[in-house]
A and B are shown apart, each in its own frame.
Chain A
Amino acid sequence: GQNIDQPTEMTATEGAIVQINCTYQTSGFNGLFWYQQHAGEAPTFLSYNVLDGLEEKGRFSSFLSRSKGYSYLLLKELQMKDSASYLCAVSWGDYKLSFGAGTTVTVRA
């Protein structure tokens, strides 16, 4: 099985930066995804890391260290619409995804 840990909740101010950490223990690692999920909606893709290092995509960046089983998602210039749950998901085996429980980010004015 997979063990994926991420903080339950984080709060930040509009315009600030927030870093969401994710640690995982896995077998047959294929890559790590970050998804955003608003309440009652489907997960939407944010980023993907398969090699070590930083991937930057606009206001969102994601980092991976495979040797440490560690990733983070960095959200810059926070906006109110960024208030959502952020899901760390590991691709393994036959490319299925195992998800963490999600981190609820609340952006305050």
Chain B
Amino acid sequence: EPEVTQTPSHQVTQMGQEVILRCVPISNHLYFYWYRQILGQKVEFLVSFYNNEISEKSEIFDDQFSVERPDGSNFTLKIRSTKLEDSAMYFCASSEFWFVDRPPYNEQFFGPGTRLTVL
């Protein structure tokens, strides 16, 4: 069964350093998302991406964050200057839309996550 993959599984970095988190979405999916989950807290939306541009972003997704689809398979999240509060699990998700005889169906498949630790 196709799945979303993410690398690395765990990233440790020093405050102020740049990190790039990588994701390979499911191959026929066209919609991509990043979420994060701080330990013990709820999953939070960061950004959605479609047709090579950002569709929507949350207030968390400030100028320190950027996303890119550098080739036909990878989808990356860059944090330019990491802060302690960026420590979290970052999940990539992808989806396709089904239009049948009802509103669109948009199941998002989540990758296993990258645990980012900022020291």
**In whole angstroms, how far apart are the Cα atoms of A96 and B56 in the complex?**
8
Q: Are A42 and B110 in contact (CB under 8 A)?
A: yes
The 8 A CB mask of A72-109 against B (1 = contact, 0 = none) is 00000000000000010101011111111110000000
Q: Which residues of A contact B75 (CB under 8 A)?
A: none
Is B25 an interface residue when CB atoms closer than 8 A count as contact?
Answer: no
Is A33 an interface residue when CB atoms closer than 8 A count as contact?
Answer: yes
**In whole angstroms, how far apart are the Cα atoms of A98 and B56 in the complex?**
13
Q: Are A94 and B56 in contact (CB under 8 A)?
A: yes
**In whole angstroms, how far apart are the Cα atoms of A98 and B91 in the complex?**
14
Q: Which residues of B contact A33 (CB under 8 A)?
A: 107-108
User: Which residue of B31, B43, B110, B113 contacts A95 across the interface (Cβ within 8 Å)?
Assistant: B31
Q: Are A99 and B107 in contact (CB under 8 A)?
A: no
Q: Which residues of B contact A87 (CB under 8 A)?
A: 42-43
Decide if the interface of chain A is mainly helix, strand, loop or mixed: strand
Is A44 an interface residue when CB atoms closer than 8 A count as contact?
Answer: yes
Known contacts A42-B91, A42-B112, A96-B56, A51 near B43 by CB under 8 Å: no
State the Cβ distance, A102 to closest chain B Cβ, in Å: 6
Known contacts A50-B105, A94-B56, A43 near B42 by CB under 8 Å: no
* Closest Cβ neighbor of B115 among chain A residues: A40
* Closest Cβ neighbor of A51 among chain B residues: B102
State the Cβ distance, A40 to closest chain B Cβ, in Å: 8
State the Cβ distance, A62 to closest chain B Cβ, in Å: 13
Known contacts A42-B91, A95-B31, A30 near B106 by CB under 8 Å: yes
Is B82 an interface residue when CB atoms closer than 8 A count as contact?
Answer: no
* Contacts A31-B105, A95-B106 supplied; 5 other A-B pairs, CB < 8 Å: A30-B103, A41-B112, A48-B105, A93-B56, A101-B42
